[in-house]
Structures are given as C-alpha cells and as structure tokens.
Amino acid sequence: MAGRKWGSQMGQVRNRVSRAPRLLLAVLAVVVVALVACSSSSSQTSSGSGSAGAAKSPFVIVIDTGTTGPYGANGAAAVEGVKAAANVLNATQGGILGHKVEVQVLDNQGNPTTAAQLLEQRLASGTKPDLIEPGSISSEGVIEVPIAAAAKILSIGTPNDSSLNNPAKYPDEFLMAPSAILPQESLMSYFKAHHYTKAAMIYSSDAYGASVGAAAIQAAKQAGITLVTATYQDTDLNMTSELQKLQASKPQVLYVQGFAAPPGIILQDLYTLGWKIPTIGDLTTAATPLIAADATKPQEKGLLLQNLKITVHSTNQSEATKNYINALQKFGPITIPLNTTSYQYDSVMVVAQAAKQANSIATPALANAIEHLKQPASPPWVTLNEYIFSTASHAPSAPISNWVITPVSPLTNGQYDGPAS
C-alpha cells in the first residue's frame, strides 16, 4: 500500500498504517542493515552529487522506516518493494547508469523521533546516499523530508502528507501517490455508470479517514451525487448505530473506508443488521489482509472493493509486472495486496528512468528529469500507467482509469482474482 497507510496510496493506501497488525517487538536496539543488491562494490563510495562518469561506486538508497514495532508489517513491505526494484535493475541493467544499486535500511521501529535520529546519524557518517526513501507513512515523511532537503539529497516515496508537495520548499522531494481526489472521482464515475444518485459513506475520524471523507464529499458534489456520511472511532467495537443512521437516509450504495479491524466490524454489523445494500470498500479496506482472508464468509457476500489495477489479476500482464512479481516472490509467498509494495518499487524505477534521461545521478539533474519525466513505450513501473510530475507539483497526476471496482476474493500472489469492472 500508495506508503500503506499501505503505501501510498497506499498512494492513499500506502500511508494508512496506524492500525496495521502489530509485530512482536523482539528487537530492542535499532538495527541498521545494509542490504546489498549486488555481489560486490561494498568498499566503494557513492555521492549524491555524482555523475554517470563516476567510478563504479554503488547507487546508495537509504530507506528509514519501521520494519519492527507497531508499523512493522508496512515497513517490511516497503523495504521489499525497494529491494525488489534494486534487484531487477541490477540484474537487467547493471544498476542505474552502471552503478549497482545498494539498499540500506534504517529500522526506526515506527518512532518518528528515532527516525530523525537515525537519518541524521547516517548522514553524518559514511558516504552520502544518492536517494532517501523518507519512510513508508506520512508521520515518518514529515520528519525525514526536511532532513533530506537540508542535505540536498533526492527523496521520493509513499508519504503523501500535503505539506510535502511543496517544490519551492522541497525541490528534491517527490511523492509517489497521486492526489486523494482522483480515486474518489473514479468512484463517482462508477456510481454514475450504475445510476446511483444517492450514496452513503462510513469512515474513520482519524486524520487519514477524514481526508478520504473530505475527498469523497468533494467528488460527490462535483458529480451531482448526494452523499450522506457517518464517522467512527478506530477503537469502536460496534458500528450498528452509525449504520442505522445511514440506512434511514435510504441510499442506493454504501461506501466503507477503514483499515485493519474497523472494516471487518462494519461488515459484520451490516450483516447482523440485515441491511442488504451494494457495498464497496475503499482502497484501505482492499489493502486489509483480513478482508481477502474472509472473502468466502457470509458477511462479505457481494462485497466490492476499490482497487488499483496492479492488485487485480490480469491474463495480459506487462513484462514489468512479471519482473516485479517474480522479484517479490524471491522474498517468500506474497500474502498481502501488491499495492503495499508497488509504489516503493515504482519510486526506484522512476529514479532509474530519470537518471537515464539526464545521463546523471546528480541530485539536481535527477530532480529536473523527474519534473520532465518522459514516458517510455514500455514503462518499468507497475502501479500507475504514467507518472507525470511538473515544476508546480511533485505529486503525480494520473487518469482515473488506474482505479477499478472488483469483487472481493482470496489473494493470489498479492492480487484479487475478480475481473475489473
């Protein structure tokens, strides 16, 4: 997950992780692991201001995220996405402009204060990295991006707090997840195609849920669709009263936003209430592993999910998608939706494309190339069809066709099996 949130998106999805499954806190000390995605060059140096003509120094990527602690599941997935991209580039292109890609992981255990300390310590010692992945969630991004900016190092990743999309303040920072309004505009397009004129939405009152709710309200107003809403607290164990409030308004379709436990509670209460209504889970609901695991249970009968196309199986997969899935499988079975790793994978591929375009790995050259990124005929990225940045916005624009509505199903290699609608 767009930063799960699961990525970004969890673009959107990728940044929604405050309720991710907690991992055992077995590691008490912060671990810094250098994951070398090549077989040599460990004694070589790398510089963020280097160029294509530099010696065979590695292209160093530092990702500072919580691979243990409360957000460990998301952090570990983010790291796998970055490592998968590094491995593919090293195997197919010899790295980035001949520089083998090396991934260094700083485990901040989900603590933003620790994240800042670790990153500052890393930048004060050793060679300067070429790229910083500023965490996998927004609470990490807002701490790490200013540090990367002060060091004049390129940063790119799934944290999508709106304050980070500020080219004047952070000229070398880029977001992978597009604006939150786009998936909501896609949803309203689906509603209109199915002749829904009145919809209901239940969403979390936390910061991320509120942002999704605001985007949905805005998109519904633009589409001329009446949207009635109700909110819940993430600690709520029963949503019956909220659902009854929505039911009284007699909507034609129900839209559910939530991650981890809340969407499961909502679906169970909806089933117990006996309210039979077309129901669609949002991107974070679709990124919740338990939703796929419970796909055959009665409370999920007829459930639809909003998904990025990468999370829906296709018999006509691109070569890039095949490379991505194959690279992930080398870490073990893929048991969570692909969008929990795909934005991180794409971030490295975008930088590799920018380096090729600029014929340089220098930070200013890379930033300029990303702002004017050319779209190759066979793009190496897998989440969005295109990544289009500009000097005015360092968050990508994207057509609403990137999002689809799919039936819930068990996952196969991180993808839902139902056909896109």
pLDDT (tens digit, 9 = 90+) per residue, 346-375?
999 999 999 999 999 999 999 999 999 999
Helix (H) or strand (E) holding 129: none
Q: What proportion of the chain, given as a percentage, has pLDDT over 70?
A: 86
Cα end-to-end span (Å), the chain: 21
Q: For residue 419, what pLDDT is reported?
A: 53
Lowest mean pLDDT among 98-112, 158-172, 239-253: 158-172
Does 418 score more than 90 pLDDT?
no
Residue 20 has pLDDT above 70, yes or no: no
Average pLDDT, the chain: 87
> What is the predicted pLDDT for the residue at 55?
53
Low-confidence winner among 7-16, 48-57, 238-247, 313-322 (lowest mean pLDDT): 7-16
**pLDDT over 70 at 188, yes or no:** yes
Half-sphere exposure of 12 (CA within 13 A, CB side): 27
Q: How confident is the model at residue 138 (pLDDT cuts 50, 70, 90)?
A: confident
The tokens for 183 are 């998936």
Q: Which two tokens stand for residue 10?
A: 């969890």
Q: What does the alpha-carbon distance between residue 54 and residue 46 come to, in Å, rounded to a whole number?
A: 9
Q: Is it the case that residue 326 has pLDDT exceeding 80?
A: yes
Find all residues with CB under 8 Å of 107, minimum gap 6, and list them: 27, 30, 31, 32, 33, 65, 66, 67, 68, 75, 118
410 vs 162: which has the higher pLDDT: 410
The pLDDT value given to residue 161: 81
User: Cβ-count burial of 117 within 10 angstroms (0-12 exposed, 13-18 middle, 19+ buried)?
Assistant: middle
Write the DSSP symbol of residue 157: E
pLDDT tens figures, 34-91: 333 433 333 333 334 444 444 579 999 999 999 998 878 889 999 999 999 999 999 9
Q: Which of 16-20, 117-121, 280-284, 366-370 has the lowest mean pLDDT?
A: 16-20
Q: Are 156 and 173 in contact (CB under 8 A)?
A: yes
User: In this structure, which topology does domain 181-311+404-416 adopt according to CATH?
Assistant: Rossmann fold (3.40.50)
* Contact by Cβ (8 Å): 3, 177: yes
The DSSP code for 99 is B
Q: Do residues 94 and 50 make contact, with C-beta atoms less than 8 angstroms apart?
A: no
DSSP 312: B
Helix 72-93 to helix 342-358 angle, to the nearest 10 degrees? 40
pTM: 0.80
pLDDT exceeds cutoff 70 at 4: no
Q: Taking residues 172-197, what's their average pLDDT? A: 95
